[in-house]
């Protein structure tokens, strides 16, 4: 996740302190009406900037008071409209921008780095869900890469606890193009780690197919990127899955994807192997055949598929991934 470096309550000057400026009250005070000055006092007394991202539970317990609470009186809950300065680490490239910087090169090193980014994305979702969190808003902009191509996950505004129960149809969230197929249905559903896993698949698939797709695939992508309604995106994604499943018929390759560059071919057949893993787990029916609590098995399998591609040498990888995609 993107590192949280520091947070604090900003100083906001009121031109007329006698006026009842509700913006200032909302930003500088708690619901009790008391000014939130403890964090400023804490900074001054310690002569350093608190790095919230590296604080341990012991650090927080050692503080005399929660710096988000009033300086005097009881420790009341902060107003929901409290405004804070938040500073996070800068991660310059979105998922697709990072891969765009690599695809200009035909070297095997650039291919390995792209596979690494894919694998990091699935591994990140696994790590987040193991800590009991569902992200629920996977997108190009929310999965970012630094200048060393290390992946960072950001924007947890829509996140929820794994144990919080079903979201229900009225509460589905996400960036439509990257949402899992079953989440696009009008049927009520329970958001599971596998839905975030499938969103990572769409992250990889849409970036790759935008570059190499032709014919039917281009039409399906257009419906995904320009949604008229959720049902139309769901239909386009199901159609795209069916198109990709036909790639066991070798003759259909030329008309639907451009695989002239070996790098594109290797990525494509790895993508199909991941897709077949999702299909085998009943992706279009909310993963109902997957026993609750075992979502990590599928995520691990996706990671393993990419690892096989990373481990294979340049002479074996085409044959190996193609065979893997056909046998999955």
pLDDT tens profile 286-319? 999 999 899 999 999 999 999 998 887 455 545 5
3-class DSSP assignment, residue 167? coil
3-class DSSP assignment, residue 141? coil
pLDDT tens profile 56-97? 344 444 444 444 444 454 444 444 445 566 667 788 899 999
pLDDT value at position 24? 36
3-class DSSP assignment, residue 5? strand
Orientation of helix 193-212 relative to helix 262-280, angle to 10°: 150
pLDDT value at position 57? 41
Share in percent of the chain as helix, strand, coil (round to 5): 55, 10, 40
CATH number of 93-327: 1.10.510.10
- DSSP bridge pairs for 143: 153
By C-alpha distance, which of 1, 84, 12, 13 is closest to 50? Answer: 84
Positions in the chain short of pLDDT 50 = 12-39, 42-43, 46-71, 73-81, 167-169, 249, 313, 317, 320, 328
Distance CA 161, CA 178 (A): 20
The CATH 1.10.510.10 domain(s) of the chain lie at: 93-327
Backbone angles phi, psi at 310, to 5 degrees: -65, -35
Helices (H), 190-294: 193-212, 216-225, 230-245, 253-256, 262-280
pLDDT value at position 326? 54
């Amino acid at each position: 996740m993107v590192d949280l470096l520091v947070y604090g309550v900003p100083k906001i000057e009121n031109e007329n302190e006698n006026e009842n400026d509700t913006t200032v009250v909302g930003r500088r005070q708690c619901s009790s009406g008391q000014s939130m000055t403890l964090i400023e006092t804490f900074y001054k007394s310690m002569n350093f900037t608190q790095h919230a991202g590296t604080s341990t539970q012991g650090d927080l317990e050692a503080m005399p008071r929660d710096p988000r609470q009033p300086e005097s009186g009881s420790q009341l809950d902060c107003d929901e409209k409290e405004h804070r300065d938040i500073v996070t680490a800068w991660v310059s490239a979105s998922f697709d921008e990072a891969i765009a910087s690599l695809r200009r090169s035909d070297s095997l090193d650039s291919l390995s780095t792209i596979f690494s980014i894919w694998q990091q994305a699935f591994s990140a979702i696994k790590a987040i869900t193991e800590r009991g969190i569902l992200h629920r808003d996977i997108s190009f902009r929310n999965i970012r890469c630094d200048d060393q191509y290390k992946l960072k996950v950001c924007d947890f505004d829509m996140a929820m606890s794994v144990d919080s129960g079903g979201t229900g149809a009225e509460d589905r969230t996400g960036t439509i193009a990257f949402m899992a197929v079953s989440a696009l249905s009008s049927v009520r559903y329970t958001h599971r780690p596998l839905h975030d896993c499938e969103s990572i698949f769409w992250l990889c698939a849409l970036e790759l197919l935008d570059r190499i797709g032709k014919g039917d695939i281009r039409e399906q992508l257009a419906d995904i990127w320009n949604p008229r309604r959720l049902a139309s995106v769901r239909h386009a994604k199901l159609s795209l899955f069916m198109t990709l499943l036909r790639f066991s018929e070798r003759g259909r390759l030329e008309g639907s994807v451009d695989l002239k560059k070996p790098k594109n071919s290797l990525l494509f057949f790895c993508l199909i192997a991941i897709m077949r893993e999702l299909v085998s787990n009943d992706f279009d029916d909310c993963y109902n055949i997957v026993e609750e609590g075992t979502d990590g098995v599928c995520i691990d399998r996706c990671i393993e598929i990419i690892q096989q591609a990373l481990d294979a040498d340049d002479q074996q990888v085409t044959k190996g991934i193609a065979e893997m995609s056909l046998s999955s």
